[in-house]
Amino acid sequence: MSNRKYSIGVDFGTESGRAVLVDVADGREVASEVFPYTHGVIDEQLPLSGAKIELEPDWALQDPEDYLRTFQKTIPGVLKQSGVSPEDVIGIGIDFTACTMLPTKLDGTPLCLVPEFRRNPHAWVKLWKHHAAQPEADRINDTARKMNQPWLDRYGGKISSEWFFSKVLQILDEAPEVYAAADRMIEAADWVVWQLTGIETRNSCTAGYKAIWSKKTGFPEKAYFGALDPRLADVVETKMSRNILPVGQKAGGLTEQAASWTGLKTGTAVAIANVDAHVAVPAATVTQTGQMVMIMGTSICHMVLGDEEHIVPGMCGYVEDGIIPGFFGYEAGQSCVGDHFAWFVENCVPAAYQKEAAQQGKDIHQLLEEKASRLKPGESGLVALDWWNGNRSVLVDVDLTGLLIGATLATKAEEIYRALIEATAYGTRVIVETFEKNGVPIRELVACGGLPEKNPLLMQIYSDVTGKPIKVSASNQTPALGSAMFGAVAAGRKAGGYDDIFEAARQMAHLKDNVYRPIADHQVIYDELFAEYLQLHDFFGRGGNDVMKRLKKLRARQREADVLVV
Amino acid sequence: MSNRKYSIGVDFGTESGRAVLVDVADGREVASEVFPYTHGVIDEQLPLSGAKIELEPDWALQDPEDYLRTFQKTIPGVLKQSGVSPEDVIGIGIDFTACTMLPTKLDGTPLCLVPEFRRNPHAWVKLWKHHAAQPEADRINDTARKMNQPWLDRYGGKISSEWFFSKVLQILDEAPEVYAAADRMIEAADWVVWQLTGIETRNSCTAGYKAIWSKKTGFPEKAYFGALDPRLADVVETKMSRNILPVGQKAGGLTEQAASWTGLKTGTAVAIANVDAHVAVPAATVTQTGQMVMIMGTSICHMVLGDEEHIVPGMCGYVEDGIIPGFFGYEAGQSCVGDHFAWFVENCVPAAYQKEAAQQGKDIHQLLEEKASRLKPGESGLVALDWWNGNRSVLVDVDLTGLLIGATLATKAEEIYRALIEATAYGTRVIVETFEKNGVPIRELVACGGLPEKNPLLMQIYSDVTGKPIKVSASNQTPALGSAMFGAVAAGRKAGGYDDIFEAARQMAHLKDNVYRPIADHQVIYDELFAEYLQLHDFFGRGGNDVMKRLKKLRARQREADVLVV
């Protein structure tokens, strides 16, 4: 046992789980270990020997045993790597993708591990990107509008097919026997904490953002659930728990079994579960109002803390205590950012550029960034609408599609690449301005995730376009760091941790020295270009011409015809 | 001397000249020979040894001696290849790019061959795509509108910077000494005929389409030219000729000198000069109303014959006797067709496709066409506006730019490729419908040029989109064939030729057997998509949102700033 104390954060991603062992004193990341899930994302057939159970399109499942394997592989791994004694590990926190959920028995046994249900896909974990519950989401929204449900406004007027009750209702619709056999419907985040502690808890973050819960009014009323389906009327009483704990609390201590899985001490403090994007906020040093955290990867999550409750149109949701206790946590998002550039590189970059990159020993993204850096704002003559994957905020419309305007015979790949970056920056500016107009002030931006380090041009453009300074998290694994911070808070000051997340963030979270600041010359041009973007955004996004939706419908019709022919 | 008689057509293109020796009886193309111009397109500096005279941006000149070299190289070439005796060659016709013009002395000597003016770029031939006379074109149009000039309507309301008086006025503005020294300002088409025959003639085609002449009212009035510049008031009297001859007439016979250049007999009949696109019409069998000829290459020229005079908004112009004597010849155009696909292949097709094409031993266009053929109409979910190089007809606006709408993360290169083809087809349909709405009926389309043979998918799409059958010219060098037909008419029936172009077309012009016909299932979908195109076309092209023009201006501003910095 040494003077130094450590905490472990475990970040459950889409393809793998990652543990990071962190020094509680200063947040130094001492060791990290990744476990790629044995069965990854299950989207074709169930991983069963001797039975071929195929999945329909848009399904995405996981194996709950992969989560336990993550604990068993990564925690012993970081202990071994670091040489840290289990005595000195004071707490564990976890964060998860969401809404990722599963049906279980009363003791927590996943239904997919019960032989009777093993071959039923509805008994497995439904991953966040399981998109087959759209009809149920439509029903949830229609019924809510008809019954004038007050909570609908908190979610930008629309509940997503990815969220908790869409998935529960799909189970009820398509596998009523699974629904009936399930004693619990639970977020995987809460389920893994249950497995560690032996205690069933529910966290305020997923409950608020994904399961229509609020601190003031709880879940939707029984009459509403009954209107969706009479069998669903008592879903909260019979399948869930009204006992929602705010993030930052302790869920319990490690059971003997969990201690044996991990090599940690029995009773080690475990924090209430959390969500990857949300736990990144304090890890990016943000525990106050006025700063917007952008978690920038394939998509962007925008997280803001507010003192007051405001209805901000078109965001993903806001939850009291949802990110940091004592604040309203607002969440918005853009569904196509890193994915956009990946699509462009795969589908639109000519062979000559690939060759040039190879000759110079560069990544193609790097070459494009260099070429695009040499352009001035406005020099490409291009403006794009960044809707290649629909628009999450502020239009909340998955049926919108991409638009590129201004191309000529002189247009080069790097010009289109830059226009796509700019388009995503305009999208962020729309979100920032919508927050500001609705009473949630934003003074500066704090970025984390994979993109900021890879693409300084993009960061500068975001600063030029929004007119805000952008700071960057020092950690490149903010979710795991954030979870470790919550682990240290669960342990508490007496055990060598902290009494609250504010103190933990002050000590353990850091920013890079380099700050991106708007360049005045660029801002002037980008103001002009943003005005063009906004005009197109409102025209195509708010009903001026619904051509995108009509084209998408026609496309679906013609693809369907294809399938019928085949 | 044999029973068979032959005619030679010489087609002066942008980079080279081509002679084709044709059997007068049936139009069989017996031999052809190409001469790449020694100095090609002169757009950087004058081809002078010992002097470096650089050209400004947008300039494009040619060397008139390259035209004489074309006669000297290609006509002896086809005679040799074919073994045909000069005795049996009864006529020559020529066609040229237009407006390609030059200043000369009274005897036809180009000013650029006069030592005093050799270093003055304005003394050289201005090629059709010399685009530096835009300020002069603007003045021509402004003054015409102010003076309410009736001829403006014949040209879709706008005179192009490429046309005759824009170029003449630029010479006067920038090199008044060249203007003063020029006894003649003349189309290169007429100049080469002058060199062959020793007689100065002017053809009704270039006069009408490029120099604001009409059979009924002649050139614009003196007062108008005087308003542009007092020194220009007597331009027609002093620098031109009011003696305009309709196409189909004989200009004269070969001089002894021209006979020695070509190896033909002195006195061989030479036809009045013509323009490449226009001469292709009878070569594509069309000598009557109701058929639209599409000359399809980098761009499309649309040519229609009409019995009556109609103002059709947004076309390039119409000229009585301009294509076929006795008809009004209407011309419209799309400025970006083959160029569009070339741009796409060069700038947007991923390396993987280039690799796949190479592995299969295919041209990349061929691979894209195959992949695009497998898509159904509407299946891509994309619609484009084909304005990558502005819009010639019917909007007559070079400041419009390209638009692509409907892209998603699943969009593939072949889908964009097909969308661009479809966009050009919608553009043609707009032209067809504009003709029809304004009293010029179009029953069917006849295609010639490079594209129809290369891209059957494109031809089918044009038929599906327009709802018209499309026939294809049997010749793949229709301009040269057309010129040879006019050569046979210049020779006349007594010499073994024909008395008019109608008879010549019946005997010498042919179509392929294969006719593209609209597929009913496709037409229904394309009607839907065309409605979307038209809505976007009118919104962005007729002032709904002038974003394209604003972006283009900003682009120019930012590029200029670039130049200043450098």
Distance CA A346, CA B367 (A): 17
Number of Cβ atoms within 10 Å of the Cβ of B116:
11
Sequence-separated (6 or more) residues with CB below 8 Å from residue A204: A213, A215, A244, A245, A246, A247, A272, A319, A320, A321, A322
Within 8 A by CB and 6+ apart from A122, the residues are A103, A170, A171, A174, A175, A178
Give one DSSP letter per residue of A79-124, joined into a string.
Answer: HHHHT--GGGEEEEEEEE-TT-EEEE-TTS-BGGGSGGGTT-GGGS
Identify all chain B residues contacting A409, using CB atoms and an 8 Å cutoff: 336, 339-340, 343, 388-389
Residue B560 confidence (pLDDT) above 90: no
pLDDT digit string (tens) for A156-169?
888 999 999 999 99
B73-117 confidence digits (pLDDT tens)? 999 999 999 999 999 999 999 999 999 999 999 999 999 999 999
The helix (run of H) or strand (run of E) holding residue B187 is strand B184-187
Rounded Cα gap, residues A264 and B153, in angstroms: 88
Q: Do the Cβ atoms of B229 and B245 come closer than 8 Å?
A: no
Name the region of B10 (left: φ>0; alpha: ψ -120 to 50; beta: rest): beta
Residue of A nearest to B532 (CA): A547
For tokens 């022919």, what's the residue?
A565
Site from A403, A409, A557, A558 to mutate, B interface, most B CB atoms within 10 angstroms? A409
The residue behind tokens 């790019």 is: B97
DSSP 3-state percent helix, strand, coil across chain A (nearest 5): 45, 20, 35
Using CA atoms, how far apart are residues A113 and A66, in angstroms rounded to an integer?
12
Buried b (16+ CB within 10 A) or exposed e, A39-68: eeebeeebeeeeeeeebeeebbbbbbbbbb
Closest-CA residue to B404 (of B428, B420, B426, B424): B420
Q: How confident is the model at residue A566 (pLDDT cuts 50, 70, 90)?
A: very low
Sign of the Cα torsion B204, B205, B207, B213 reads: positive
Q: What is the DSSP string of B228-293?
A: H-GGGTTHHHHHS-S-EEPTTSEEEE--HHHHHHHTPPTT-EEEPPEEHHHHHHHHTT--STEEEE
Binning pLDDT at 50, 70 and 90, where does residue A432 land?
Answer: very high
Q: What is the pLDDT of residue B566?
A: 38
Nearest to B518 by CA among B421, B416, B444: B444
**Cβ contact B400:B553 at 8 Å:** no
Model confidence band, residue B340 (pLDDT cutoffs 50, 70, 90): very high
Side-chain-facing half-sphere of A141: CA atoms under 13 Å: 17
| Interface probe, candidates B131, B373, B385, B554, chain A, greatest A C-beta count within 10 A | B554
For chain B, give the percent of residues with pLDDT over 90.
Answer: 91
Strand order in the sheet with A442-448: A317-320, A328-334, A300-306, A290-296, A442-448, A470-472
Give the closest-approach CA distance of A376 to chain B in angstroms. Answer: 7
Query: Which chain B residue shows the shortest CA-CA distance from A351?
Result: B351
Q: How far apart are CA A249 and CA A265, in angstroms?
A: 20
B407 CB neighbours in chain A (<8 A) are 388, 401-404
Separation CA A257–CA A369 (nearest Å): 50
Chain B: closest CA distance from residue A338 (Å) = 11
Question: What string of DSSP letters covers A478-507?
Answer: HHHHHHHHHHHHHH-GGGTS-SSHHHHHHH
Measuring CA to CA, which residue among A437, A433, A454, A455 is closest to residue A445?
A433
Measured CA to CA, the distance from residue B486 to residue B508 in angstroms comes to 11
Query: What pLDDT shows up at residue B373?
Result: 97
B377, A558: Cβ pair inside 8 Å? yes
Q: What is the ipTM of this complex?
A: 0.91
- pLDDT at res. B565: 45
Q: How far is CA B519 from CA B464, B465, B466, in A?
A: 6, 9, 11
Q: Which of A21-25, A82-86, B151-155, B161-165 has the lowest mean pLDDT?
A: B151-155
Neighbours of B157 (CB within 10 A): 14
Query: What pLDDT score was predicted for residue B482?
Result: 98
CB contact under 8 A, A402 and B381: no
> Distance between CA atoms of B351 and B361, rounded to whole angstroms?
15
Which three-class secondary structure string do you get for A207-260? Answer: HHHHCCCECCCECCCHHHHHHHCHHHCCHHHHHCCCCEECCCCEEEECCHHHHH
* Euclidean distance between CA atoms B152 and A482, whole angstroms: 72
Residue B244 — left, alpha, or beta (φ > 0 → left; ψ -120 to 50 → alpha)? beta
The two tokens of residue B510 are: 């042919």
Shortest CA gap A350–chain B (Å): 5
CA of A434, closest CA in chain B: separation in Å? 23
- Output the CA–CA distances (angstroms, integers) from residue B251 to A496, B216, B316, B547, in the order listed: 105, 22, 27, 50
Asked if B98 and B182 touch (Cβ cutoff 8 Å), the reply is no
pLDDT at A225 > cutoff 90? yes
Find the closest chain A residue to B340 by CA distance: A409
pLDDT band at A565 (very low <50, low <70, confident <90, very high): very low
Residue B503: the pLDDT is 98
Task: Give the nearest partner residue to B408 out of A379, A401, A525, using CB atoms.
Answer: A401
Residue A432 near residue A303 (C-beta atoms within 8 A): no
- Nearest-CA distance B408 → chain A (Å): 4
Give the model's confidence band at A563: pLDDT under 50 very low, under 70 low, under 90 confident, else very high: low
User: Can you tell me the distance from the alpha carbon of A300 to that of A15, in angstroms, rounded to the nearest whole number?
Assistant: 18
- What's CA A394's distance to the chain center, in Å? 17
pLDDT at B50: 86
What is residue B112's DSSP assignment?
A: G
- pLDDT score recorded for residue A2: 66
> Is-contact B231 B252, C-beta < 8 A?
no
**For A376, which of B535, B545, B558 is closest by C-beta distance?**
B558
Q: Which two tokens stand for residue A223?
A: 């009459």
For residue A3 the two structure tokens come to 């003077």
How does residue B156 score in pLDDT terms, banded at 50, 70 and 90?
confident
Q: How many CB atoms lie within 10 A of CB A2?
A: 9
For testing contact with chain A, the best of B547, B563, B564, B565 (most A CBs within 10 A): B547
Q: Which of A557, A348, A391, A403 lies closest to B382, judged by CA?
A: A403
What does the pLDDT look like over A247-277, one tens digit per residue?
A: 999 999 999 999 999 999 999 999 999 999 9
- Of residues B317, B314, B298, B330, the one with CA closest to residue B391: B314
Average pLDDT, rounded, for chain B:
95
User: Which of A351, A354, A404 faces B404 most closely, judged by CB atoms?
Assistant: A404
Residue A57: the pLDDT is 82
The closest of B433, B213, B215 to B315, measured between CA atoms, is B433
Distance of alpha carbon A173 from the chain centroid: 27
Closest Cα of chain A to B403: distance in Å? 4
- Give me A167's structure tokens: 């998935």
Residue B546 burial by CB count (10 A; 0-12/13-18/19+): exposed, middle or buried?
A: middle
Does residue A206 surpass a pLDDT of 50?
yes
CA distance B98 to B206: 7
Beta strand segments in A311-360, E: 317-320, 328-334
Sign of the C-alpha dihedral computed for residues A139, A141, A144 and A145 taken in this order: negative
With CB atoms and an 8 Å threshold, state whether A552 touches B336. no
**Chain segment A83-127, per-residue pLDDT in tens:** 999 999 999 999 999 999 999 999 999 999 999 999 999 999 999
Inform me whether the pLDDT recorded for A62 exceeds 80.
Answer: yes
Q: Per residue in B418-443, pLDDT tens? A: 999 999 999 999 999 999 999 999 99
| Residue B320 in tokens | 């009585």
* Rounded Cα–Cα distance for residues B363 and A235 (Å): 62
Interchain contact, B405 vs A552, CB within 8 Å:
no
pLDDT, tens only, B512-533: 999 999 999 999 999 999 999 9
From chain B, pick out residues whose CB is under 8 angstroms from the CB of A561.
376
- In this structure, the dihedral spanned by the alpha carbons of residues B354, B360, B361 and B365, taken in order and rounded to 10 degrees, is -50
Q: How is residue B401 written in tokens?
A: 């730019």
Give chain A positions within 8 Å (CB) of B351.
349-351, 354-355
What distance in Å separates residue A380's CA from the closest CA in chain B? 6
Size of interface A-B (CB pairs under 8 A): 169
Query: Which chain B residues are within 8 Å of A406, Cβ to Cβ?
Result: 401-403, 547-548, 551-552, 555
* C-alpha R_g of chain B: 24
Q: Strand B317-320 and strand B328-334: pairing?
A: antiparallel
Hey, are the CB atoms on B409 and A388 less than 8 Å from each other? Answer: yes
Written as six digits, the tokens of A231 are 């069998």
Q: Which of B402, B536, B557 is facing A407, going by the closest CB pair?
A: B402
